[in-house]
């Protein structure tokens, strides 16, 4: 993870400009932001220090930690404290390069979210992203999960700051946030990423609809032509990816709006 990312996320969460005369942020969101600020500083940045007795890695063998993780999974439908303690045992005993440790942290993050503790879940996902091995898909997976949670529970500004570090993986959610912001430039930049054909078609449709809403029909028509070219480039393919793209094309709202 980018070393500067925690500061960027916290800045987006905690320093959003206020509207003169009133606070535009709901009280629940302000409470969650404060909680997340404390958690990110006190847990994510000092994770092994503040809880060293519980989470200090002692480097058990991968086979042992894999068995411990399997046992922890069996407790998932049982009492929450027993399940999380079992996951913490895996995190404590596994070496940092052990895949079981990463999976245990992710399961812990999901358990915290299900338990109604979004700020703690954010911290766990941030820890998972920060400590995943470079190039490991787990890093992007954890970053995406944290971005989704920030979007659902806290603040879109923070979600965007985080998801923009993994634009291709977070493209679907980012696109929705850009549309909400009425930001065609950001949406156009996102289309430069390597995207699934179906997603590319949907994003081009959203870009065209933003152009229509702004009173620029020619730009909308260009977006539709670009979407049509995605279909043309698929040729006679009939695999699952091509079929998803065709469905996206047939369901594209921009087509009907331009036909009106």
Answer with the residue of higher pLDDT: 109 or 35.
109
What is the CB-side half-sphere exposure of residue 49 using CA atoms within 13 A? 6
- Taken as a whole, the chain contains a residue count of 260
pLDDT of residue 68: 84
| Cβ within 8 Å of residue 93, ≥6 positions away | 57, 58, 59, 60, 64, 65, 68
For residue 88, the SS3 value is: helix
Say if CB 121 and CB 149 are below 8 A apart: yes
Is the pLDDT reported for residue 57 higher than 70? Answer: no
Q: How many Å apart are CA 226 and CA 219, to the nearest integer?
A: 11
pLDDT digits (tens, 9 = 90+) for 169-205: 888 888 888 988 899 999 999 999 989 999 999 999 9
Q: ∠ at Cα 45 (42, 51), nearest 5°?
A: 60
pLDDT digits (tens, 9 = 90+) for 59-102: 556 677 788 888 888 887 878 788 888 888 888 887 777 788 88
DSSP 60: B
1-166 has which CATH code?
1.25.40
Answer with the residue of higher pLDDT: 7 or 110.
110
| Cβ within 8 Å of residue 221, ≥6 positions away | 208, 258
pLDDT of residue 72: 85
Q: How many Å apart are CA 224 and CA 256, to the nearest integer?
A: 11
**Residue located via tokens 């898909």:** 137
How many helices (DSSP H) and strands (DSSP E) are in the chain?
Answer: 16, 0
**Residue 190: CB atoms within 10 Å:** 24
pLDDT digits (tens, 9 = 90+) for 23-49: 344 444 544 554 454 444 333 433 332
| CA nearest to 190, candidates 205, 208, 178, 181 | 178
Say if CB 28 and CB 36 are below 8 A apart: no
pLDDT of residue 7: 47
Q: pLDDT band at residue 123, thresholds of 50, 70 and 90?
A: confident
pLDDT of residue 67: 85
Q: pLDDT band at residue 6, thresholds of 50, 70 and 90?
A: very low
- Name 22's bridge partners: 19
Please provide the average confidence, as pLDDT, over all residues in the chain. 76
Is the pLDDT reported for residue 213 higher than 70? Answer: yes
- Name 19's bridge partners: 22
Task: Name the residue ranges covered by the structural domains of the chain.
Answer: 1-166, 171-260
Say if CB 245 and CB 231 are below 8 A apart: yes
Is the pLDDT reported for residue 131 higher than 80? Answer: no
Is the pLDDT reported for residue 56 higher than 70? Answer: no
């Amino acid at each position: 993870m980018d070393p500067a990312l925690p500061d960027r996320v916290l800045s987006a969460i905690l320093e959003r400009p206020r509207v003169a005369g009133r606070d535009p942020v709901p009280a629940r969101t302000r409470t969650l932001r404060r909680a997340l600020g404390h958690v990110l500083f006190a847990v994510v940045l000092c994770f092994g220090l503040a809880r060293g007795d519980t989470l200090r890695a002692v480097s058990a063998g991968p086979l042992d930690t894999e068995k411990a993780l399997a046992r922890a999974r069996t407790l998932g439908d049982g009492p929450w404290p027993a399940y999380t303690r079992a996951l913490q045992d895996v995190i404590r005993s596994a070496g940092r390069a052990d895949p079981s440790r990463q999976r245990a942290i992710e399961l812990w993050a999901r358990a915290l979210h299900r338990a109604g503790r979004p700020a703690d879940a954010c911290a766990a996902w941030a820890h998972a992203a920060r400590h995943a091995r470079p190039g490991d898909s787990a890093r992007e997976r954890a970053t995406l999960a944290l971005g989704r949670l920030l979007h659902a529970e806290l603040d879109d500004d923070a979600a965007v700051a985080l998801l923009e570090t993994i634009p291709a993986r977070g493209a679907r959610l980012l696109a929705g946030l850009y549309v909400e912001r009425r930001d065609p430039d950001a949406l156009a930049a996102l289309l430069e990423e390597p995207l699934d054909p179906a997603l590319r078609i949907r994003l081009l449709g959203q870009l065209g609809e933003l152009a229509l809403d702004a009173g620029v029909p020619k730009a909308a028509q260009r977006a539709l032509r670009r979407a049509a070219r995605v279909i043309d480039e698929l040729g006679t393919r009939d695999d699952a990816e091509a079929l998803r793209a065709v469905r996206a094309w047939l369901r594209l709202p921009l087509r009907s709006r331009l036909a009106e």
